[in-house]
C-alpha cells in the first residue's frame, strides 16, 4: 500500500469575528492527489476556513502546515508561490480584457513570483505563454479566447476562473462553490472539468451540490457552526445520521 502523503494540514485552527467564533478548533488534513470536499450549511465557516488556509485571514489560534513547512505566519503571496491556488471569484479577473489575456497574465505572474521553481507540470512548458495556452485549451476556452470577459456566460466565467487558477501552476487547488448559480448544463460541464483535474492536483472543494460532492470526492468533511462534525468517504458521510438529516432530509 502506498503511504498517504499529507499535502496541507490545519491543527486546531480558530477564527473569531468580534465575539463570534466562526472557525472553532478545526483540525483537518488534506491528502496529496485527492479531492476533499467541505460540506456544511450557510455560515458554517467553510469560506473562512479557506481564507485561513490561504492566509487571506490570520488565525487567532492553531497552525497550518504545507507539506513539511509551517505556513501559519506566511503571507498570502508566499502561500500562492508555494503552490496553493484558489479559484477566486470572477471579480478578480480583468473584465475588459480578453479570456486569453487574463490567462496569460496569471501565467506570467506565477512565473515572476516563483522563477526558480516554476515546476513539475509547468516545467514542461518553457514559456509562460505555452502554459497559458495549454490551460485555455484544457478548459475548452480557445473557442472564446478573444472575447472580453464581461461578455462571457456565467458558465464560461467559471471555466475561466479555473483556467486562471491552473495557469498559476498549483499543487493544491481550492474551489469555493464552483457550480454556484450555474444552469444544469453548465454545472455538468464544470463537474466534468473538475473530474478531469482529479488525477493531477490535490483539490479542496466547498460545494453545496451534494450530488457532485458524492460523485467526485475521495474524502468529505462536514462543518457546522465553525466545527468539524463528520469526516469520511462518501459512503461514510451518506450513512452518517446527522448529516443525512441535514442534507438528505431523512
Ligand X SMILES: Nc1ncnc2c1ncn2[C@@H]1O[C@H](COP(=O)(O)OP(=O)(O)OP(=O)(O)O)[C@@H](O)[C@H]1O
Q: Which residues bind ligand X (CB under 6 A)?
A: 17, 22, 40, 42-48
Q: Which is nearer to ligand X, 40 or 155 (CB)?
A: 40
Options 10-18, 46-54, 141-149, 167-175: segment touching Mg ion (CB under 5 A): 46-54
Residue 178 interacts with, from ligand X, Mg ion, none (CB under 5-8 Å by kind): none
Task: Work out which of 24, 25, 47, 78 binds Mg ion, going by CB under 5 A.
Answer: 47
CB 52 within 8 A of CB 23: yes
CB 218 within 8 A of CB 195: no
Residue 170 interacts with, from ligand X, Mg ion, none (CB under 5-8 Å by kind): none
Q: How far apart are CA 172 and CA 127, in angstroms?
A: 22
Residue 44 interacts with, from ligand X, Mg ion, none (CB under 5-8 Å by kind): ligand X
Q: Which is nearer to ligand X, 48 or 157 (CB)?
A: 48
What's the DSSP call for residue 98? Answer: B
Cα-to-chain-centroid distance, residue 163:
12
Q: Does 224 bind Mg ion (CB under 5 A)?
A: no
Residue 40 interacts with, from Mg ion, ligand X, none (CB under 5-8 Å by kind): ligand X
Please give the residue whose beta carbon sits closest to Mg ion in the complex.
Answer: 47
Question: Interhelix angle for 99-113 vs 154-167, to 10°?
Answer: 20
Kindly tell me the burial class for residue 58, based on how many C-beta atoms sit within 10 Å of its own C-beta (0-12, 13-18, 19 or more).
exposed
Of the candidates 194, 183, 133, 195, the one whose C-alpha atom is nearest the C-alpha of residue 153 is: 183
Of the candidates 211, 215, 197, the one whose C-alpha atom is nearest the C-alpha of residue 247 is: 211
Q: Does 14 bind Mg ion (CB under 5 A)?
A: no
Residue 83 interacts with, from Mg ion, ligand X, none (CB under 5-8 Å by kind): none
Q: Which is nearer to Mg ion, 122 or 213 (CB)?
A: 213
The residue ranges that bind Mg ion (CB under 5 A) are 47
Amino acid at each position: 500500500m502506498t503511504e498517504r502523503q499529507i499535502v496541507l494540514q490545519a491543527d486546531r485552527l480558530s477564527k473569531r469575528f468580534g465575539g463570534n467564533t466562526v472557525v472553532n478548533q478545526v483540525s483537518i488534513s488534506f491528502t496529496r492527489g485527492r479531492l476533499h470536499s467541505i460540506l456544511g450549511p450557510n455560515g458554517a465557516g467553510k469560506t473562512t476556513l479557506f481564507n485561513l488556509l490561504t492566509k487571506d485571514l490570520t488565525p487567532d489560534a492553531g497552525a497550518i502546515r504545507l507539506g513539511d513547512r509551517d505556513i501559519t505566519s506566511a503571507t498570502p503571496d508566499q502561500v500562492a508561490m508555494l503552490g496553493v491556488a484558489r479559484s477566486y471569484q470572477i471579480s478578480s479577473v480583468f473584465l475588459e480584457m480578453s479570456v486569453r489575456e487574463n490567462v496569460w497574465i496569471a501565467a506570467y505572474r506565477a512565473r515572476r513570483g516563483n522563477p526558480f521553481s516554476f515546476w513539475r507540470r509547468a516545467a514542461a512548458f518553457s514559456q509562460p505563454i505555452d502554459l497559458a495556452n495549454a490551460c485555455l485549451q484544457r478548459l475548452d476556452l480557445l473557442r472564446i479566447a478573444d472575447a472580453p470577459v464581461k461578455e462571457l456566460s456565467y458558465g464560461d466565467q467559471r471555466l475561466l476562473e479555473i483556467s486562471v487558477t491552473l495557469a498559476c501552476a498549483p499543487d493544491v487547488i481550492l474551489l469555493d462553490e464552483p457550480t454556484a448559480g450555474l444552469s444544469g448544463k453548465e454545472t455538468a460541464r464544470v463537474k466534468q472539468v473538475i473530474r478531469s483535474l482529479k488525477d493531477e492536483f490535490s483539490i479542496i472543494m466547498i460545494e453545496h451540490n451534494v450530488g457532485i460532492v458524492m460523485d467526485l470526492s475521495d474524502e468529505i468533511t462536514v462543518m457546522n457552526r465553525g466545527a468539524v462534525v463528520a469526516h469520511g468517504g462518501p459512503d461514510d458521510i451518506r450513512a452518517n445520521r446527522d448529516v443525512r438529516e441535514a442534507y438528505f432530509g431523512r
